[in-house]
Amino acid sequence: MGKIILKKGREESVKRFHPWIFSGGILKNEGKINEGDLVEVLSFGGETLGWGHFQIGSIAVRMLSFGEEVPGRDFWKKRLTAAYKLRESTGLIREDNNAYRLIHGEGDSLPGLIVDIYNDTAVIQAHSAGMFLSRNEISQALTEVYGDKIKAVYDKSAATAPFKAGLELNDTYLYGSQSTHGSVLENGKIFLIDWETGQKTGFFLDQRDNRALVGSYSAGRRVLNLFCYTGGFSIYALASGAASVDSVDSSRKAVDMLERNIEANREAGIIPAGTKHESYCEDAIEFMRNSGDNKYDLIIVDPPAFAKHRGALPNALRAYQKLNAAAISRVAPGGIIFTYSCSQVVDKISFAEAVFSAAASTGRNVRILHRLTQPADHPVNIYHPEGEYLKGLVIYVE
């Protein structure tokens, strides 16, 4: 097994249990090390600090364990069991809510791995070569933890994998098989999930709590859901008695799924009969620019990540400012805006400043009602604050 020797003084962050080792902190490698290999990490003085997956790139090692104990044959089952117990302890796993994130990378001490549960299907995404190479062991551990509650394990790593050399990347079922679509319940709402061809693993589970909050503000209001994807916020608003909902997304496929979700919830009586809904397959920014003032009482602004690396940060902040200024200027007096950023490199202070600048540019009186973040099944490791990526504001516009 290969070894990674750190430069003098670079062990301090590892001793504080930070799970990333950057390439600039490595003095030398010992032994033959391939991308994705499990490696022993040693201090400059030769002390074993832990074990992790080696990766070619800026983040050279993602730590799996700290101390001298090597991750053994029961490692995956233990980590998955601990993650399941955390979700169970929050009351998240129940009859009316069978879709949740089981593994959230560093937040569950498995950096580079995402596992989402959709009823009886687990969807895996590997964001490191080590996790990709371990996918069969992860799948086996999932079946051991869940038993017959899991009918299929689907690996969807091809689109997100940052590693290419020498690895064949094909999305595939690692266990069982199933049709492309499945039906899940989220807080009693019905959603059809396409984990094979949908975005991410098929659904944005991280907005569950925020969707419920939108529902609590929606009764009697005219709602606009921008970047609606398959209609999560729209379903909650309609089910909560919104006067009307307009949903906008540039993806025809997403809009088609949205309409199927609305139909399923109408048939089940979750959305009241006669509730007004219109869907628009258009660019959300153009739609907002062309919409009239005071048409909406509640606007949801939930765009995709505008910045995926620090070099894109200035342009992203300008985009958030422009988009929020359009929403603030057009919402009806006494209106509510839910606005979000899922860009990890945009911190919550920078995002709030972008919204502040947007509000100032409109001249309207704006107050913050809520500061939002990700839910309990997307936990943040206290030793890895970088894991807090989702931030949002609920603002009231006079």
Residues that are catalytic: 342
Burial class (CB in 10 A: 0-12, 13-18, 19+), 68: exposed
**Pair 330, 368: CB distance under 8 Å:** no
Can you tell me the distance from the alpha carbon of 7 to that of 4, in angstroms, rounded to the nearest whole number? 10
**CA distance to 183, 259, 280, 323, per residue, from 283 (Å):** 28, 18, 9, 12
Please give the backbone phi and psi of residue 391, each rounded to the nearest 5 degrees, phi first.
-135, 150
What SS3 state is found at 312? helix
Q: To 10 degrees, what angle do helices 252-267 and 232-239 make?
A: 30
Q: Which of 74, 166, 174 is nearest to 129 (CA)?
A: 166
Helix 135-146 to helix 75-89 angle (10° resolution) is 50
Q: Which of 366, 371, 345, 347 is nearest to 356 (CA)?
A: 366
> SS3 for 247?
strand
Q: What are phi and psi of 362, to 5 degrees?
A: -90, -20
In terms of C-beta distances under 8 Å and separation of at least 24 residues, what long-range contacts does 223-226 make, across chains too?
223/296, 223/297, 223/298, 223/299, 223/300, 224/248, 224/288, 224/291, 224/295, 224/296, 224/298, 224/299, 224/300, 225/300, 225/302, 226/284, 226/287, 226/288, 226/299, 226/300, 226/301, 226/302, 226/303, 226/327
- Label residue 269 left, alpha or beta by phi (over 0 means left) and psi (-120 to 50 means alpha): left
Phi, psi of 217 (to 5 degrees): -105, 0
Q: 3-state class of 106 per DSSP?
A: helix
- Amino acid sitting at position 136: N
DSSP character for 147?
G
**Residues 11, 44 contacting (CB under 8 angstroms):** yes
